[in-house]
Amino acid sequence: MPLGERGGWESSESMYCGVETDFSDDVPSLLSFHISTGGFDYVLAPLMNPSYRPSLVEANGSSDTQALPVSGSDLVLAPSQWSSHVVGKVSSWIDLDSEDEVLRMDSETTLKQEIAWATHLSLQACLLPTPKGTSCANYARCVNQILQGLGNLQLWLRVPLVKSDGDSMDATSEGLNDSWELWNSFRLLCEHDSKLSVALDVMSNLPSESSLGRWMGESVRAAIISTDSFLTNARGYPCLSKRHQKLIAGFFDHAVQVVVSGKLVHNLQRASDSNAEGTQRHPLRSYLDYVAYLFQKMEPLPEQERIELGYRDFLQAPLQPLMDNLEAQTYETFERDSIKYIQYQRAVAKALVDRVPDEKASELTTVLMVVGAGRGPLVRASLQAAEETDRKLKVYAVEKNPNAVVTLHNLVKMEGWEDMVTIISCDMRFWTAPEKADILVSELLGSFGDNELSPECLDGAQRFLKPDGISIPSSYTSFIQPVTASKLYNDVKAHKDLAHFETPYVVKLHSVARLAPSQPVFTFAHPNFSTKANNQRYKKLRFNLPSDAGSALVHGFAGYFDSVLYKDVHLGIEPTTETPNMFSWFPIFFPLRKPVEVHPNFPLEVHFWRCCGSTKVWYEWSVSSPALSPMHNTNGRSYWVGL
């Protein structure tokens, strides 16, 4: 049975828990004991007898050397049972980088035989043993060969979750200081293959929070928790430390499967007594119950997060509202974001009060222009601000999309705004206004602030504004931060071309590790009456990883924006200052053609350019330290925003 459904989750999002077992030549009985009796969802089981060695078979002169030494037949289970209830486990004795040539050759032969058998059984995944030493080149080479011809089978590399900080942290017996380094070496040698993932052995001692955070951006598929890592509560039942609980909750949120491993330990005998029906309880059932309890006690996802589940880590091309006319569905999505328009209404209200003192509220009429009015939400917000502040308002609604203009006309008629609102069906850059505006309002911001050409549009529209007029927004700043994003990188890589690596994407970031705090990149302020106004920009940024984090791989940069609508009214998605409960913008993701490994003691240096041509605007970006990356998107060859 699945662990259960977390409140507000789709049924397909239920989590599953497996159990690691020893080799058995009676697989049906194995499943009956662990699944039917124990309640686990699947077994993580060896596929071959651990005593098998190809060299021994040959030495004994057997004539049947080609027969796979598996127990029984594939017929003992139905294909659906193999697929849903068994995850294969490659023999743990194999050592493909051994100095012993016989062992090395036996290991290579056995690895290929076992993966071939797992493929034949239609298993969904197979666990690869942890590399025996720090060198894993031959092991990775053989796995990479296998990956090239692999179908749907996923390979999980078993890696202990350790990072020694020089104090009390335990390293493995092989002297492994940071297991992430081992994983990174292996996946680099396997060319970032999307069918290769990691299964983490969760130890009783955990590394620092910064070190653990790196793994949230990696392709972790399973967390194997030894019974030795559990504590014992006062009633004799297993439990985990607060830090372990937090880690497991994070894994659940990233769809990582949990596997219980080991024997009954500590003072848990009461948990393994016979149940009410008199049948013997599974010895590890109490561990399963505790894992299920951790899952079920997680907070339900907010409604908006549930709506956005399908967008998590999904690459989308940014909108080009200046070059393309938006469709009704796009308008509908953005108009549902009430928080955004509440902030705009607050900003307009403050501007109206500053513009017209109370004693002249009944005399003066403020001229407000909404440039890029869409289907009218900013018009409505502005009129509501006027009503709230008891100010008189005259609105020009300027919109270039003829389809949205139809909706605007109907809205004005339906709401009875004919005396207050004038609709202008025209591109704001080419309209000649009959009078100057006191306030200019727009919602042209993109995920990176200026990436939907708000600077160019507002520079062109500010000629409508009085010299002392107010622009809402008054300024906006873009931000970037380095991220580990294995899934996003593999999704871009799957296109097998340069263009996709030079395209920024709008993404609901989820399976990413944010490696350092974000930093500001480009800032634009409006109105900008400078005679030397130029919207080209260049910025060099330097990021430092936390000293206790360990090394990490940067797959690209997450981009955000923060804007000042008016005075203290802000709007933005930068993580530390984001507007709560607003969903109009997902972050933007700038990929790197070649991921860059970074270390805590060596800063990451990145360069960003905003380039402007006569017909387009584009970004170029490059890393200069700790390693040089190619220049991305030179001359806007792969991505640009059309003017």
d(CA 38, CA 24): 17
Q: Max Cα separation, the chain?
A: 108
| Angle at CA of residue 42, ends 179 and 69, nearest 5° | 80
**Is 415 known as a binding-site position?**
no
Residue 371: in which H helix or E strand, if any?
Answer: strand 365-371
**Is 392 known as a binding-site position?**
no
Torsion over CA of 494, 497, 500 and 502, rounded to 10 degrees? 140
User: Which residues does residue 482 pair with via DSSP β-bridges, in sequence order?
Assistant: 557
Residue 120: in which H helix or E strand, if any?
Answer: helix 101-120
**Is 428 known as a binding-site position?**
yes
3-state SS assignment for residue 234: coil
CA terminus-to-terminus distance, the chain: 56
| DSSP 8-state class, residue 317 | P
| Contacts of 213 by beta carbon, 8 Å cutoff, 6+ apart | 513, 514, 549
d(CA 55, CA 259): 33
What b/e string do you get for 231-253 counting C-beta neighbours within 10 Å, with b at 16 or more?
eeeeeebbbbeeebeebbebbbe
For residue 443, indicate whether it is catalytic. Answer: yes
Read off the tokens for 432: 């000649």
**Is 331 known as a binding-site position?**
yes
Radius of gyration of the chain (CA): 30
d(CA 288, CA 268): 13
* 337 alpha carbon, distance to own chain's centre: 22
For residue 387, indicate whether it is catalytic. Answer: no
3-state SS assignment for residue 285: helix
Among residues 20, 218, 452, 620, the one annotated as catalytic is: 452
What b/e string do you get for 254-273 counting C-beta neighbours within 10 Å, with b at 16 or more?
bebbbbbbbebeeebeebbe
**Is 341 known as a binding-site position?**
yes
Among residues 20, 218, 443, 502, the one annotated as catalytic is: 443
**Is 287 known as a binding-site position?**
no
Q: Which residues are annotated as a binding site for S-adenosyl-L-methionine?
A: 331, 340-341, 399, 427-428
Q: Which residues are documented as binding site?
A: 331, 340-341, 399, 427-428
Q: Which residues carry out catalysis? A: 443, 452
